[in-house]
C-alpha cells in the first residue's frame, strides 16, 4: 500500500473526525477543485451554526483534512430529512490518495453513530447513477435503493454565476440499528 511521504502507515484509530470550523472553509475547496462551491459551502456553514446541518471533516493527526461529509437534519425534501427520524448525508468525499483504506467507511460509521445519539432512525443519501464505486460501497454499508431522483439542482458559483447540475441519482436509505 502506498505510504505518503514515507510516513508510517495510516491507522484509522489515529484519524480525527471533527466539525468544520470557519477557518476550514478554504481547505474544503481542495486546492481549487471545489472553489465553485465556495458560496454554497459558506451558506451550509452558516446553517450549521443554527444546527440545521452538521459538517464533518476527517483529518490526519497533523490536522490535514483528508475527507468530509455533511449531514442535513431538515430539508424541504422531507423524505430525505425530516428533522426527527431521517437525516440526509451529502458532500461525502475522501481525497484520492487516501481512498480504499477504509477512511470513508470509518467516517460513515461515525456519522451513523452520531445520528443515533441524536435520535435519528434512518440515514438517507443520493448517489449518482454513474458512480458505481460509491453505489457498491453504500450497498456494502447496508444502504438500500428506495427510489430514483432526477438530480436536477443549481447553485451559484464563486463568481455568482448560476450553475445547473443534472445528475440522475439513486436515493438510498439505511435503517440505523436503533431504527
Ligand atoms: C466514495 C468515497 C467517499 C469512498 O471513500 P473511501 O475512503 O475510498 O471508502 P472505503 O475505503 O471505506 O471503501 C472503499 C472500498 O475500499 C475497501 N476497503 C476498505 N478498507 C480497505 C483497506 N484497508 N484496503 C483495501 N480496501 C479497503 C472497502 O471495502 C470498499 O470496497 P467496496 O467499494 O467494494 O465496498 C471515495 O471513493 C470518494 O471520495 N469518491 C469520490 C466522491 C464520491 O463519489 N463521493 C460519493 C458521492 S455519493
Residues 91-131 have pLDDT tens digits of 999 999 999 999 999 999 999 999 999 999 999 999 999 99
Cα of 104 to ligand 1 centre, how many Å? 6
103 CB near ligand 1 (under 6 Å):
yes
Buried-exposed string 19-37: b where 16+ CB fall within 10 A, e elsewhere: ebeeebeeebeeeeebebb
Average pLDDT, the chain: 94
For 8-175, which CATH superfamily applies? Gcn5-related N-acetyltransferase (GNAT) (3.40.630.30)
Tell me: the pLDDT tens digits for 6-28?
Answer: 455 689 999 999 999 999 999 99
Given a cut of 60, is residue 153 above it in pLDDT? yes
- Exposure string of 157-178, with b = 16+ CB inside 10 Å and e = fewer, is eeeeeeeeeeeebbbbbbebee
Residue range 34-57: mean pLDDT, rounded:
97
Ligand 1 centroid–CA 100 distance in Å is 5
Residue 102 Cα, ligand 1 centroid: separation in angstroms?
A: 6
| pLDDT at position 18 | 98
Can you give the pLDDT at residue 143?
A: 98
- Grid cell locating 61: 493527526
For the CA of 91, the closest atom of ligand 1 is 47
Neighbours of 5 (CB within 10 A): 4
Using a 6 Å cutoff on CB, does residue 172 contact ligand 1? no
For 157-170, the pLDDT digits (tens) are 999 999 999 999 99
Give the residue, by CA position, lying nearest to ligand 1 atom 14: 100
With a 6 Å cutoff on the Cβ, whether 66 touches ligand 1 is no
**pLDDT at 4 exceeding the cut of 80:** no
Rounded to two decimals, what is the model's pTM?
0.95
Cα(133) to ligand 1 centroid in Å equals 8
pLDDT band at 177 (very low <50, low <70, confident <90, very high): confident
Given this model, what pLDDT does residue 151 score? 92
According to the model, what pLDDT value does residue 6 have? 47
Ligand 1 atom 7, closest CA: 104
**Cell 453504500, residue located:** 138
Which helix (H) or strand (E) element contains residue 110?
helix 103-117
Check if the beta carbon of residue 20 is closer than 8 Å to that of residue 41. Answer: no
Percent pLDDT > 90 in the chain is 93
Q: How far is the CA of 101 from the centre of ligand 1 (A)?
A: 7
Tens of pLDDT, residue by residue over 59-68, are: 999 999 999 9
Amino acid at each position: 500500500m502506498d505510504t505518503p511521504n514515507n510516513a508510517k502507515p495510516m491507522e484509522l484509530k489515529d484519524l480525527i473526525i471533527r466539525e468544520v470550523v470557519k477557518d476550514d472553509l478554504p481547505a474544503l475547496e481542495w486546492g481549487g477543485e471545489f472553489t465553485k462551491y465556495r458560496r454554497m459551502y459558506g451558506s451550509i456553514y452558516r446553517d450549521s451554526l443554527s444546527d440545521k446541518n452538521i459538517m464533518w471533516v476527517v483529518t490526519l493527526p497533523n490536522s490535514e483534512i483528508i475527507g468530509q461529509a455533511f449531514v442535513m437534519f431538515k430539508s424541504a425534501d422531507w423524505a430525505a430529512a425530516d428533522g426527527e427520524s431521517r437525516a440526509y448525508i451529502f458532500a461525502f468525499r475522501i481525497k484520492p490518495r487516501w481512498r480504499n483504506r477504509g477512511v470513508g467507511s470509518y467516517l460513515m460509521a461515525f456519522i451513523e453513530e452520531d445520528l443515533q445519539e441524536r435520535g435519528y432512525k434512518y440515514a438517507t443519501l443520493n448517489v449518482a447513477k454513474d458512480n458505481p464505486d460509491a453505489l457498491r460501497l453504500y450497498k456494502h454499508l447496508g444502504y438500500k435503493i428506495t427510489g430514483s431522483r432526477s438530480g436536477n439542482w443549481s447553485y451559484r458559483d464563486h463568481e455568482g454565476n448560476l450553475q445547473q447540475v443534472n445528475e440522475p441519482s439513486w436515493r438510498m436509505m439505511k435503517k440505523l440499528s436503533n431504527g
